[in-house]
Amino acid sequence: MIPWQAKIGFLNREKNPNPPSFENIIDNIEVGDYFTQADQHVQVIKEMPVHVPPDVFDAIFERFPNAYHIFLVRHPYHMIPSYFKAILKDPQAADFTQDVIRMDTTYRPLLDAAQRISTSGSASVLMLDAESLHADPRSSLTRLCNHIGVPFVESVLQWTPNHYPSSWRDLHAFEGWLDTVVSSSGWEKRPLDADPVYPEVSVDFQRECIDANMPIYEQLMHMFVQS
């Protein structure tokens, strides 16, 4: 996300005066720079298609042909309102113009990435629904572990509050966004909302973002059901 923010002129250069480029990050992945233990052999990389240009994805596919891809997807009825709440906690809240928000919330790059991976014929893909993950973390994370070929362990269900891996080196750049996760001690189960209703929103622009993304989200879900 930081290279994307730097590219669009959004990054707070006081907090991050020397941001890494996309190429820097890909190089770091290749040499195992994000390993946090001596015996580690799996790197988990959060790559958000909305922030990754197509040519960078091409480089990722080329340099990591055996990578496993997991799409963690949240329904727009939940994601969009949550995003707008998070903005209010950001120190740069005033900088979130409508153009930035549109770029930051669109599901289109996610669908494009899924289509590119599915047509490549060489990548392995798993789709996890965010609501199902919160409703039953054990089942969802067992699917994830099976997908990447590692045993499920209980330690993925709980952790030490305010203690995060060294690979989260840029946490300071996301003040207000990850506070709840960092201070938590494990997954908090939520009832499954399999058929969410249209959220109550008081701002027309929020409604615009929801309405623009629903057809794309539905196409993405249909694609995974079909596969």
Which residue from 9, 3, 7, 5 is spatially nearest to 22, judged by alpha carbons?
3
- Per-residue confidence of the chain (227 residues) as pLDDT tens digits? 889 989 888 888 888 889 999 999 999 999 988 888 888 888 888 888 899 888 888 888 889 988 899 999 999 999 999 999 999 888 888 989 999 999 999 999 999 988 888 776 655 789 999 999 999 999 999 999 999 999 999 999 999 999 888 888 778 777 778 888 899 999 988 999 888 999 999 899 999 999 999 999 999 999 877 54
3-state secondary structure of 101: helix
User: What is the model's pLDDT at position 122?
Assistant: 54
**In this structure, what token pair is assigned to residue 49?**
């298609």
- Burial of residue 60 (CB within 10 Å: 0-12, 13-18, 19+) is buried
pTM as predicted: 0.88
Let me know: does 1 contact 49? Beta carbons within 8 Å. no
Q: What is the pLDDT of residue 223?
A: 85
3-class secondary-structure state, position 68: strand
